[in-house]
Structure 1
Amino acid sequence: MVIAVTMVNVQPGKERDFYNAVKNLENVRDVIHVFGEFDFVVIVEAKDLAELNQTVDKIRGLDGVTKTQTVIGAELE
């Protein structure tokens, strides 16, 4: 299991469209509209890195997306 956080910027006026589209993507566990450097924080949970990459690519391809940054979580043992 891989958990990642993808921060997303969207074009002004596209926030609602992005939110409605991203919340329905497979592997997206939560979407939070934030204020600051990014517009949204998207929590992604996938079975492996390949599936994570596919989901992030889908997020990047959504209408209005201008920038993403993804960080991947790791368990401390």
Structure 2
Amino acid sequence: MMEAFILIIVKPGNEDLVYEKLKDVPQVKEIYKVYGEYDIIIRVEVNDIKELDKFHDEVLRKINEIEMTETLIASSYGS
């Protein structure tokens, strides 16, 4: 299992619409509205990098209200 945090910039005023489009997507485990440079942060769980690629291509890139994303792949400390 692989976990990633995706930082999302949304077209102004469309935060609720993007939330509605993401809230029932199985890979999306948490969604947060945040203040600052980004508008939304989501935590996703996927099996591997190919599934993460598919999530980007088939979910995020089809939401027109999203202007930009930055993906952070989570890693753990220690062994």
TM-score by length of 1: 0.91
Map 1:20-35 to 2 at 5 A.
20-35=20-35
Unaligned runs of 5+ in 1: none
Q: Hey, what's the Cα distance between the residues in 1 that align with 2:17 and 2:32?
A: 14
Aligned to 1:45: 45
TM-score by length of 2: 0.89
SS of residue paired to 1:75: coil
Q: Hey, what's the Cα distance between the residues in 2 that align with 1:47 and 1:5?
A: 14
Aligned to 1:74: 75
Shift of 1:56: 2.3
Q: Hey, what's the Cα distance between the residues in 2 that align with 1:60 and 1:36?
A: 22
Shift of 1:24: 1.3
Q: Hey, what's the Cα distance between the residues in 1 that align with 2:69 and 2:32?
A: 14
Number of equivalenced pairs: 77
Unaligned runs of 5+ in 2: none
Aligned to 2:18: 18
Identity of aligned residues (%): 30
Shift of 1:26: 2.1
Could you tell me which amino acid in structure 1 is paired with residue 54 of structure 2? Q
